[in-house]
Amino acid sequence: MEVTETNSAEETYELGRQIGIRAKAGDVYTLTGDLGAGKTVFTQGVAAGLGIDEAISSPTFTVLQIYDEGRLPLYHFDVYRIGDAAEMDEIGYEEYFYGGGVCMIEWADLIEEILPPSYYRITIEKDMQKGFDYRRITVTVCGKM
Ligand code: ADP
Ligand code: MG
């Protein structure tokens, strides 16, 4: 478990970027945290680390957005509006979870039962006593890497 404290969106972006630089084909990252915690900012950093220049928006209304122009494909999920895991079947999620790219899954707690055996869990927490822009970011390895 690794904990990083950030005090701006830029610092969270930079942490994501460092992870994007090191990411390997098949890596899955889940993102847990309230609305506005910084899950998309973190993902934008990962995209930059993968060499993706395209603007990364929140895919809330599309569930999945694919970016192919980087060092590895980026599969950006936001499952906030998904009803159940069956909807993930319709998207063909396995092709992405077990494919040759990097998956970032916002609100992954909602689809816990279909997460792969191994993944990196990223939790972003606010603490208002430490300021409006403070975030505590925890990276935990789940399963065997
Ligand atoms: P989420 O995807 O978790 O709903 P976003 O990444 O879309 O959240 O938005 C996070 C918001 O919080 C942005 O407006 C960003 O500028 C702001 N922010 C302030 N401080 C931080 C920080 N330390 N890390 C990430 N975002 C921050
Ligand atoms: Mg988001």
Domain residue ranges in the chain: 2-142
Residue 31 CA: nearest ligand 1 atom is 3
What are the Cα distances from residue 48, in Å, to 15, 23, 45, 51, 89?
11, 12, 5, 5, 29
- pLDDT band for 118, please (50, 70, 90 cuts): very high
Average pLDDT, the chain: 95
Confirm if 57 and 32 have CB atoms less than 8 A apart.
no
- pLDDT band for 85, please (50, 70, 90 cuts): confident
Question: What is the rounded distance in angstroms from the CA atom of residue 133 to the CA atom of residue 145?
Answer: 32
Mean pLDDT of 80-106: 93
Of 59 and 123, more confident: 123
Residue 135 CA: nearest ligand 1 atom is 23
pLDDT tens digit sequence for 24-54: 999 999 999 999 999 999 999 999 999 999 9
Report which protein residue has its CA nearest ligand 1's atom 6: 38
Pick the ligand that lies closest to the CA of residue 36.
1
CATH of 2-142, one of 3.40.50.300, 1.20.120.140, 3.40.1350.10, 2.40.10.340: 3.40.50.300
pTM over 0.85: yes
pLDDT tens digit sequence for 16-32: 999 999 999 999 999 99
Question: What is the rounded distance in angstroms from the CA atom of residue 22 to the CA atom of residue 44?
Answer: 15
Span between the terminal Cα atoms of the chain, in Å: 13
Give the containing element (helix H, strand E) for 126.
strand 119-126
The pLDDT, as a whole number, for residue 86 is 86
Ligand 2 center from residue 117 Cα (angstroms): 24
